[in-house]
Amino acid sequence: MSAHDFEFVPLDGGDLPMASLKGRAVLIVNTASECGFTPQYQGLQALWERYRERGLVVLGVPSNDFGDQEPGTEAEIKRFCEVNYKVTFPMTGKQTVIGDDAHPFYRWVVEAFGEAAAPAWNFHKYLVAPDGSLAELWPSRVEPLSQEITAAIEAVLPG
C-alpha cells in the first residue's frame, strides 16, 4: 500500500483521491483552529506558495482529536483559515486522526510505521513522496519553514 490508496473529502465537498496526486510531493498536516500551534498555518501557506509550482501539495486535515481544539463546522473552519491566515492550499473535511475510527490514511501510517508514527497532537506533519511512500514525518513543534522540513521537501520534489 501507499498513500495513493486513500481518499479524502475536500472541505468544500467532492472527492480527493490521493492517486490524483501521483508524481507530486504532499505534506499532510492535521490542523486545528484553537491550538497553540495554529499560527503554523502561516508557514504552511508559505510552503504552498514557495513549492506548489515545483510539485508540492500542502493538505490540511482539520481534526478535533486533541483538546477539542477544532470544534467548528467545516464552513467555520474554512472561513477561519481564509480570514486569519489567507489559506489557499487544499483542506479536507474534519477527520478523526487517531484510534480505531481514524481516517484510513492515519491507520495505514500506524500499521506500516508503528504507533510512534501516529499524530501526538495538532499540526503533526507527514511528507508523502511522489511515488506515494512516506518520506518523513515531524511532530507539532517542528515549524513548517524549518530547514529540516524544507530540505526534505527539496529532496523529494519532482525534477
Q: Which residues are catalytic?
A: 35
Contact predicate 6/15, CB 8 Å: no
Q: Which three cell numbers stand for residue 68?
A: 477539542
Contact predicate 114/134, CB 8 Å: no
- Most distant CA pair in the chain: distance in Å? 40
DSSP state of 12: T
CA-to-CA distance for 133 and 82, rounded, in angstroms?
Answer: 30
